[in-house]
Amino acid sequence: MIKIGLTGGIASGKTTIVKYLMALGVKVIDADLIAREVLEIYPEIHAYLKETYGDVVFREGILDRKALGKIIFLDKEEREKYNAVIMPRIKKLVEKRFRELKDEKYVILDAPLLFEEKFDKNMDITITVYVEKDAQLKRLMKRDNLMEKEALTRVESQMDMREKVRKSDYVVNNSGELIDTLAELTLVLKKIGFENEK
């Protein structure tokens, strides 16, 4: 199996690209989805959140992911503390998913924190979806209905996109039209020997 780590900044276009890859028949492990699952399966995480933030992050007893996201995006220290609790569990579940998909030729791990949380160490190939900051802010504001300042805070709370580009084996530039992005992606897939499975 060839493990491909896919990453990029917030609203860079990872999901858009993943949808295209899934249509080609590639199996994708979504780290964000796994993070949500982890919140459901480990009651101790709920206990930790309740103890740390109180009722602010719960609505009628159910975790309010948006409220949690606000705290975590705004405060680096809180983010690091939270990641230290949740990441080992996410990693375990990611490994389990890879094992379940062991017969696949290519499996993608879609992980916004691929480099930050060192998922890349277990990947054979890494790809960063790059987007210029102006386009990124515009898309983020539109998609999440955010004011520019909020969007900027979220973008700037992350690892610099250029750093991700430096660390990765391949880059797909999604600053322009989607059709050009997909053409670039096709070239990368060719370079890594990907054959259309369908």
Closest to ligand ATP by CB, 12 vs 126, is: 12
Q: Shortest gap between Cβ of 6 and ligand ATP (angstroms)? A: 9
Q: Enumerate binding residues for ligand ATP (CB under 6 A).
A: 8, 10-16, 112, 139, 143, 174, 177-178, 181
Q: Shortest gap between Cβ of 136 and ligand ATP (angstroms)? A: 8
Q: Shortest gap between Cβ of 9 and ligand ATP (angstroms)? A: 7
Closest to ligand ATP by CB, 107 vs 174, is: 174
Identity at 149, one-letter amino acid code:
K
Q: Shortest gap between Cβ of 95 and ligand ATP (angstroms)? A: 22
d(CA 131, CA 30): 20
Closest to ligand ATP by CB, 22 vs 178, is: 178
Closest to ligand ATP by CB, 1 vs 18, is: 18
Q: CA nearest 17: which of 195, 192, 197, 188?
A: 188
d(CA 85, CA 134): 33
Question: Which residue number has the CB closest to ligand ATP?
Answer: 15
Q: Are 105 and 150 in contact (CB under 8 A)?
A: no
